[in-house]
């Protein structure tokens, strides 16, 4: 077996590495990709947090509406019986002293808006429950509205 060694040098082109410009372009592309990935994660977490806040706000509003539904007509029409303001923590099991997000709410009871012209209009009240909270330096507001009848929804059962 014979090996022949050549003393010829290969051309300088095939032995060269990347140029500085090529390396800098690669670093720039990687930097843009990492920044985009980070911003995508940040936006995703922000959207999830906002969805959680909205869901909890809906739960608080529904809870207040269910409480109002249990009141009698005399209790609803008695001034001061239904509390006009309330607060609720973000974590339902938590307390307000633990910090975190606090929802502030108002309950208003009045005549239906727009005014009703039906004969039973005096037997109807409109209940508005409004919830406000601050999230990320933005004031958020959610509202629920319903009508309450003096004789109830299903008076034919009784």
137 HSE (CA, 13 A, CB side): 0
Cα 107 from Cα 144, distance rounded (Å): 10
Residue that has been written with the tokens 């995508």 in this structure? 40
Residue length of the chain: 158
Q: Which residues does 143 contact at the CB level (< 8 Å), separation at least 6?
A: 61, 128, 129, 130, 131
Does residue 8 surpass a pLDDT of 70?
Answer: no
Structure confidence at residue 121 (pLDDT): 85
- Residue 31, judged by CB atoms within 10 A of its CB (0-12, 13-18, 19+), counts as exposed
Q: What percent of the chain has pLDDT over 90?
A: 53
Q: Average pLDDT in the 14-23 region? A: 78
Q: What is the pLDDT of residues 77-132, one digit of tens each?
A: 998 899 999 999 988 765 555 567 899 999 999 988 888 888 888 889 999 999 99
Cα–Cα separations (whole angstroms), residue 86 to 80, 108, 127, 147:
13, 12, 15, 20
Structure confidence at residue 158 (pLDDT): 46
Facing residues of 131 across strands? 105, 142
Residue that has been written with the tokens 């009045």 in this structure? 110
């Amino acid at each position: 077996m014979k090996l022949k060694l050549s003393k010829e040098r290969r051309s300088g082109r095939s032995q060269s590495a990347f140029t500085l410009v090529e390396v800098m372009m690669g670093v720039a592309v990687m930097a843009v990709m990492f920044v985009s990935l980070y911003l995508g994660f940040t936006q995703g977490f922000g959207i999830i947090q906002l969805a959680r806040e909205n869901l909890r706000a809906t739960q608080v509003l529904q809870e207040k509406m269910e409480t109002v539904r249990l009141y009698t007509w005399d209790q609803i029409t008695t001034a001061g019986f239904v509390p006009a303001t309330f607060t609720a923590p973000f974590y339902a099991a938590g307390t307000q002293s633990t910090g975190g997000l606090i929802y502030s709410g108002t309950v208003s009871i009045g005549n239906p808006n727009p005014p009703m012209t039906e004969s039973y209009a005096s037997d109807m009240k409109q209940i508005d429950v409004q919830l406000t909270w601050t999230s990320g330096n933005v004031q958020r507001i959610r509202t629920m509205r319903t009508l309450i009848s003096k004789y109830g929804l299903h008076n034919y059962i009784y």
